[in-house]
Structure 1
Amino acid sequence: MSWRAMRESGYRIMFTGLFSLAIAFIIYSRLSGTSAGAPVQASQLTNLAYAVLGITAASLAAAMYGAYTIFRAEQARTAGGSSLTSFITGAFSDRKYWRIMAIAAIGYGIFFAFLSQILVYRPDVSFSERGIAVPSTDLIPCCGAPGYMPMFTAYFTDHFLLLVIPVNVILATVVSVMVGFNVALSVYAYRLRQALQGRTSIVGGIGAATGLFVGCPTCAGSLISAVLGLGAIGAGASTSALAPFQTVFIAASLPALALAPLLLARSIRSISMCGVK
């Protein structure tokens, strides 16, 4: 398959996933509305809610696979070139950096899930004492803005639960993948500098550490939370106050994560040019 056909296929898959996601959220929001004629029967709404959660997972997987296919097409198109894109895609010619990306994305995803209250551990709260069966699941089918409903909760233990709000899980997944991508690219740049310039200077080490921190911009949020006393100790008090802004906090990191690969690519190109000279 040529890179053009691969890229077109990737765009089709990605847009199909995104379109399915948007349509599912809009239709569900209308059917689960609070107006007199809008709501469907409770049993039907529950079944529909589970269907929407399934569509969300499938659509997100399709969109991510489409993006991966587009990246592979760009990798084939820019092979051997000198554009910034070629330096970004060229770094992933070695499968080792795909593994680094996967490990970083999973690790960050778990960390961020706790930070954003997708995974909740409350040693000071007993769910069973509040009348909640453990283990068990709970579904809140309505009512809210598109993407915020249905809300699914799984109680794994007496102190640990999973809270699924579709739009937050989507954003957290996208952010985690982008963080993994940037971390892998940062590691590639660091190793390339070591290979071409020998031992890394103190300034170079600081630059590499800064590059890794750029790959994880929302880590700054956890640092600020810790400084302000809103970390794990104050999570119970702060979660309700910050909940309306949670999606905004997650989405705000996306521009930085999108810009970081271009900055890293410029660094990689500079290192490569110095190595050639």
Structure 2
Amino acid sequence: MSKDDTGHDGRLLITLGFASIGILFLIYARLGGTTVTPDAVSAIERIGTAFYVMLLVALGAIAYGMYQYHKQKILKNDDSLLSVIAKITWNSKSRKIFLATFVSYGVFFALTSGTLVYQPDVIFSKHYDVTVPSAHITPCCGEIGYVPKLIVYITEQVGLQVIPINLILQIIVSYLVGLNTSVAVNAFSILKKNTGIGGIAAVTGLFIACPTCAGTFLSLFVSASGAVAFTLAITQLQTMFIAISIPLLIITPIIMARKIRNSGWSCKIES
């Protein structure tokens, strides 16, 4: 495949997006790791804001690159496993299943991981002495990928605690769970029997949030301030379990695509 083809099939955008995120993390780790003085706080906060703007741009590039790659695999119309996955997930039914799963799992994940915070027994403005609604960036200090944190107070009981590395992993995992679900539904329809693989993928996708679920349930038995401290304490452990689960979520649709291809299936792609 020529260099021009590589650019048009989305791989260049995907590569640039992930490379940009890695560079962002390294740059901020260098800047955010410096000694913070009262005079430097506002400057570091501006850097944190720029960090999130650039992060959103990189994620947008990756998303568009994935769309281009998906479309290109269909137009190429070969017999590769990735082409099979692209073909069976291109129809409107598959897209609706993917979108519904992506959004619902993303919300569930955000709740259980502490990204989306709901504390009905706490009034944020009184407990944390903040203005509601408001948002601020906590520019330092922490391990690479865990700063800067974005804290958003939406209502008196609902807020967001965005940690860069967790945000990226949550998007990736929600995408993979949506893809697994979409492929599994089509595999069931095509093969006319339940292989069980799709169910395993969905359960696996939910299982990876268990460390965060455990943290959420255990936090009910401590004070509000203790719950926040506990959530922060287990954040890195949660991230490790999430990252470990990603390879399985990648392998599963490939296994299902192999079964579909071996069944002699052929597809007419809707225009």
With structure 1 as the length reference, what TM-score do the two structures score? 0.81
Q: 2:245 aligns with which of 236, 239, 253?
A: 253
Shift of 1:124: 2.7
1:189-227, Cα deviation, whole Å (9 max, x unpaired): 112234xxxxxxxxx44x34x51341451312456877x
Correspondence for 2:218 = 234
Shift of 1:32: 1.6
1:189/1:140 CA distance change after superposition, 3 Å:
same
**Aligned residues of 1:21 and 1:56 also touching (Cα < 8 A):** yes
Aligned ranges for residues 124-143 of structure 1 at < 5 Å? 124-130=121-127, 131-143=129-141
Query: How far apart are the structure 2 equivalents of 1:179 and 1:3?
Result: 32
Query: How far apart are the structure 2 equivalents of 1:70 and 1:217?
Result: 26
Task: Calculate percent identity across the aligned residue pairs.
Answer: 33
With structure 2 as the length reference, what TM-score do the two structures score? 0.83
Query: How far apart are the structure 1 equivalents of 2:244 and 2:56?
Result: 23
Structure 2 regions of 5+ residues with no counterpart? 221-226, 266-271
**Aligned residues of 2:117 and 2:161 also touching (Cα < 8 A):** yes
Query: How far apart are the structure 1 equivalents of 2:38 and 2:69?
Result: 40
Aligned ranges for residues 121-270 of structure 1 at < 5 Å? 121-130=118-127, 131-194=129-192, 204-205=193-194, 207-208=195-196, 210-222=197-209, 230=214, 232-236=216-220, 237=227, 239-270=231-262
Verify: 1:73 aligned to 2:72, yes or no: yes
Shift of 1:82: 3.6
Letter in 2 for 1:30: R
Q: 1:100 aligns with which of 93, 97, 101?
A: 97
SS at match of 2:147: coil
1:265/1:106 CA distance change after superposition, 3 Å:
same
1:96/1:40 CA distance change after superposition, 3 Å:
farther
SS at match of 1:137: strand
Query: How far apart are the structure 1 equivalents of 2:215 and 2:140?
Result: 30
**Aligned residues of 1:179 and 1:216 also touching (Cα < 8 A):** no
**Aligned residues of 1:179 and 1:215 also touching (Cα < 8 A):** yes
Correspondence for 1:29 = 29
Verify: 1:8 aligned to 2:7, yes or no: yes
Letter in 2 for 1:110: V
Shift of 1:3: 9.5
SS at match of 1:218: helix
**Aligned residues of 2:209 and 2:242 also touching (Cα < 8 A):** no
Shift of 1:133: 2.3
SS at match of 2:159: strand
1:85/1:14 CA distance change after superposition, 3 Å:
closer
Structure 1 regions of 5+ residues with no counterpart? 195-203
1:33/1:241 CA distance change after superposition, 3 Å:
closer
SS at match of 1:109: helix
Query: How far apart are the structure 1 equivalents of 2:166 and 2:148?
Result: 12
1:4/1:101 CA distance change after superposition, 3 Å:
farther
Q: CA-atom RMSD, angstroms? A: 2.7
Query: How far apart are the structure 2 equivalents of 1:165 and 1:25?
Result: 12
Letter in 2 for 1:94: N
**Aligned residues of 2:173 and 2:205 also touching (Cα < 8 A):** no
Shift of 1:178: 1.1
